[in-house]
Copies of this chain bind each other. A is one copy, B any other.
């Protein structure tokens, strides 16, 4: 009973191929009795339409390509979870492309994505630059493949549908909380690599500092925690460096900073207040628990998938740029 084809089903149910196809794709166009009979046979034979044949004939794959930079980043993984749940609603399958250690150009990979016949592309690479954005645009236009950016954005243009939060505002708000606590020497810890979203957090931080008449201090460090721990030790070796507040672009960076400082005898939050970004498990597992910007990352994934589905179905999306709501969570690393 390896593989039942539509032909087997038709034969056994005593109907034509067309009718079987219709019972599956346009059930309302088939009389109930016939439909039931066909469905029974389908059940009996364990028939599932061959995805290739279906794709070839219909020119639709009911699958979307999911492009991610690196699965091991907690935010990416959570987002994929959200995408998966939403995709299931539409019976869409996910084709995964992990860019990590990708040495061929991204262009090559995107061509592959197109060749895979995916009905749409969910682009989650936050390390996006002008060139890539242009490429994505070309693909969307030339190949008519809808693209949605999830938790990433290209702020200088908005031809592509985007789901994100207002990272600028979040950075601004988090910084302001520390300013309101009376902190004067507030640092921003960000990644050495240029992620668009981190640039926005940084811009928000700068704005808040400027408004408060404070001096900005931006430290670019590695996303790798073993590396940045060393870095922090180096940086704050001389106790002369005044620091009483920190905004980190990732929870993990915030936590490794906290650990470094506590080992140096600093009190958190008495001496230094710390804010993270994302509200990952790292934040809950930190001691004290990390205050952070809560980002609805699962919702971003789900919303992005939902919008992509709409685009695929040809619906016009009036709102290209979709901003989801974020929260500021105060826990143990800031003073209420």
Given the known interface contacts A56-B53, A285-B225, A285-B259, the answer about A77 and B72 at a Cβ–Cβ threshold of 8 Å is yes
Among A63, A77, A114, A256, the most chain B Cβ lie within 10 Å of the Cβ of: A77
Q: Which of A90-98, A208-216, A319-327 contacts B (4 or more CB under 8 A)?
A: A90-98
Is A116 a contact of B282 with CB atoms below 8 Å? Answer: no
Contact with B along A105-132 (1 / 0, CB 8 A): 0000001101111000000000000000
- Identical subunits present: 2
Q: Find chain B residues with CB under 8 A from A117 CB.
A: 50-52
Q: Find chain B residues with CB under 8 A from A143 CB.
A: 2-3
A3 to B252, CA, bound (A): 44
Q: Find chain B residues with CB under 8 A from A111 CB.
A: 46, 48
Contact with B along A22-39 (1 / 0, CB 8 A): 000000000000000000
Q: Find chain B residues with CB under 8 A from A197 CB.
A: none
A100 to B2, CA, bound (A): 28
A189 to B257, CA, bound (A): 29
Given the known interface contacts A48-B112, A84-B96, A98-B84, the answer about A226 and B284 at a Cβ–Cβ threshold of 8 Å is yes
Is B98 a contact of A96 with CB atoms below 8 Å? Answer: no
A114 to B63, CA, bound (A): 15
Chain B proximity of A1: nearest CB distance (Å): 6
Number of A residues with CB within 8 Å of any CB on chain B: 60
Please tell me if A194 contacts chain B, counting CB pairs below 8 Å.
no
Contact with B along A66-82 (1 / 0, CB 8 A): 10001110101110110
Is A1 a contact of B142 with CB atoms below 8 Å? Answer: yes
Is A144 a contact of B77 with CB atoms below 8 Å? Answer: no
Is A85 a contact of B112 with CB atoms below 8 Å? Answer: no
Chain B proximity of A240: nearest CB distance (Å): 25
Is A115 a contact of B49 with CB atoms below 8 Å? Answer: yes
A93 to B61, CA, bound (A): 15
* 8 A Cβ contacts from A220-265 to B: 225-226, 252, 255-256, 258-259, 262-263
Q: Find chain B residues with CB under 8 A from A114 CB.
A: 48
Chain B proximity of A79: nearest CB distance (Å): 9
Please tell me if A310 contacts chain B, counting CB pairs below 8 Å.
no
6 new A-B contacts at CB < 8 Å, known A256-B285, A262-B287: A2-B142, A2-B144, A53-B56, A72-B74, A72-B77, A225-B285
